[in-house]
A and B are shown apart, each in its own frame.
Chain A
Amino acid sequence: MCLAIPGKIKSIEYQYDGLVRMARVNFGGIIKEASLDMVPSAQVGDYVLVHVGVAISIVDEEEAEKTFAYLREIGDLDELTESSQIDRHAV
């Protein structure tokens, strides 16, 4: 129900005599329409998270990197990488 998928805005157009701002969003090759009412600052090229035909958030690309930096922030990524090569099948 709360499934939402990030996609890239390919184009933006106004519908219903200019009443509604809609985007064409590319989800890995599949293009679908999405309302931009909830993300008025979204522009062509932005990644947006789309849920039931409505873009609900712009993906923050800098913040997206933080997930990958989290293990490093813990302070033992190098050690972990070494052990993961040894223990790859241990878990």
Chain B
Amino acid sequence: MKHLTEYRDPELVEQYIQELHRTATRPWTIMEVCGGQTHGLVKNGILNLLPDLVTMVHGPGCPVCVTPVNLIDKAVYLAEEKNVILCSFGDMIRVPGSTKSLLDAKAGGADVRILYSPLEAVRLARENPDREVVFFAVGFETTAPANALSVVQAQKLRLKNYSILASHVLVPPAMEAVIQDDDTNIQGFLAAGHVCAIMGTGEYGPLVERYKMPMVVTGFEPVDLLQGILMVVRQLERGDYKLENQYTRIVRPEGNPEARRIIEQVFEVVDREWRGIGNIPGSGWAVRAELADFDADRKFSVSIPKVPECSDCIAGLVLKGIKKPRECSQFGRACSPERPLGAPMVSSEGACAAYYHFSMSELVND
């Protein structure tokens, strides 16, 4: 299919790999921020094809993974105690809370539904005026416009029975938290292409200047990923640091103005707790106070006590690129996608789950 298969062309992939082998003369460590990119690198075997001198480390870019346990407990509570139709994306349903996941709640009789889009939840609310419909709205900047749009549509349709439980996290503050951690050793970044499709590239220039670190906005297909890595390596070899855009077919410098406008209309920036990492200032979006009727947290005044995370899990170190998944003593033993102990194993885009699912025994760039 146009704009997809051509970016999976094996011959072009091979040319990029060879150019990378010729370009890299010293060891470099590069972080891909987005879990979708981690997934792409692992699934397509790219990690095995890179020069030994180029090490990819995986970032905190799986919003499902970093959703706090307490918010999952709130969603489970709403589904079980408030008799709502609780909807979310498929990967969110499996994530364990402190005692159970939404899938467990569904098995126990709660009305939990997996949807492809938050707009389907609005339709569901319209078709079920006697029920409360709550959409568990997770995501990075990429997903925020769709979740915000669901609120705007519900408002236009004058729905009184629709709300979202928002758990939005923002990429640039997380990148800065990773850079500032003394234990990280990252020299360049692949910036998340679809986040930038919404937000543009304006937030990254100051990070590049402040930390003198190359960043390349990169897509998700094998050729995209290899070109993005090559662009970072070329900068590093030259001693350069600048913001470049590999994903120009999708990402404009200004992002998507319509999407940014609707996000601004519905959300405001707040401090946010990241599962496995902890609080990162200014790293989340919450529903604006004036839209409280569409904010499940306010609407139902949910108060659930917080519980500590599993102490055997090294999620924070994995999410910051300090440790690789297989350096964890629990990886593939007590911790698996079926029974995850911590954040990076809970969704297929988490670094641990990606390693678990693909080429677990064959990864050499590990």
**A interface residues (Cβ-Cβ under 8 A, vs B):** 1-6, 8, 16, 19-20, 27-28, 32, 35, 37-40, 47, 49, 51-54, 56-57, 59-61, 63-64, 66-68, 70-71, 74, 77, 80-81, 83-84, 87-88, 91
Binary contact track B232-273/A, C-beta < 8 Å → 1, others 0: 000000000000001011111000101100100000000000
Most buried by A among B63, B138, B156, B250: B250
Report the minimal beta-carbon distance from B172 to chain A, rounded to whole angstroms.
15
Contact indicator A5/B194 (Cβ below 8 Å): no
Which residues of the other chain, B, contact A28 by a CB distance below 8 angstroms?
1, 4
Closest chain B residue to A15, Cβ basis: B123
Given contacts A1-B139, A74-B19, contact A52 B146 (CB under 8 A): yes
| B: contact size bracket | 35 or more
What separation, in Å, do the CA atoms of A66 and B250 have in the docked complex?
12
Give the A-B contact count at a CB cut-off of 8 A.
147
> Is B214 engaged at the interface, CB distance under 8 Å to the other chain?
no
Contact indicator A71/B192 (Cβ below 8 Å): no
Of A37, A40, A59, which is within 8 A of B149 by CB? A37
Contact indicator A59/B250 (Cβ below 8 Å): yes
Of B49, B195, B347, which is within 8 A of A91 by CB? B49
Given contacts A2-B143, A56-B198, contact A67 B223 (CB under 8 A): yes
Report the minimal beta-carbon distance from B168 to chain A, rounded to whole angstroms.
11
Most buried by A among B21, B142, B153: B142
Of A2, A16, A63, which is within 8 A of B140 by CB? A2
Chain B interface mostly: helix
What separation, in Å, do the CA atoms of A19 and B4 have in the docked complex?
32
Chain A interface mostly: mixed
Which residues of the other chain, A, contact B142 by a CB distance below 8 angstroms?
1-2, 4, 51, 56
Contact indicator B91/A54 (Cβ below 8 Å): no
Of A19, A38, A70, which is within 8 A of B157 by CB? A19
Contact indicator A68/B2 (Cβ below 8 Å): no
Contact indicator B1/A53 (Cβ below 8 Å): no
A-B contact pairs, 18 of them (CB 8 A): A1-B139, A2-B143, A37-B149, A49-B250, A52-B139, A53-B118, A56-B194, A57-B250, A60-B249, A63-B249, A67-B7, A67-B227, A67-B246, A68-B6, A80-B15, A91-B14, A91-B18, A91-B21
Which residues of the other chain, B, contact A52 by a CB distance below 8 angstroms?
89, 116-118, 139, 143, 146
> Is B112 engaged at the interface, CB distance under 8 Å to the other chain?
no
Binary contact track B128-171/A, C-beta < 8 Å → 1, others 0: 00000000001110110110010001001100000000000000
Closest chain B residue to A80, Cβ basis: B15
> Is B119 engaged at the interface, CB distance under 8 Å to the other chain?
yes
Report the minimal beta-carbon distance from B165 to chain A, rounded to whole angstroms.
16
Report the minimal beta-carbon distance from B149 to chain A, rounded to whole angstroms.
6
Contact indicator A1/B140 (Cβ below 8 Å): yes
* Docked complex: B57-94 residues within 8 A CB-CB of A: 61-64, 89, 91
What separation, in Å, do the CA atoms of A80 and B259 have in the docked complex?
41
Given contacts A3-B36, A4-B142, A67-B223, contact A47 B194 (CB under 8 A): no
Most buried by A among B63, B119, B252, B347: B119
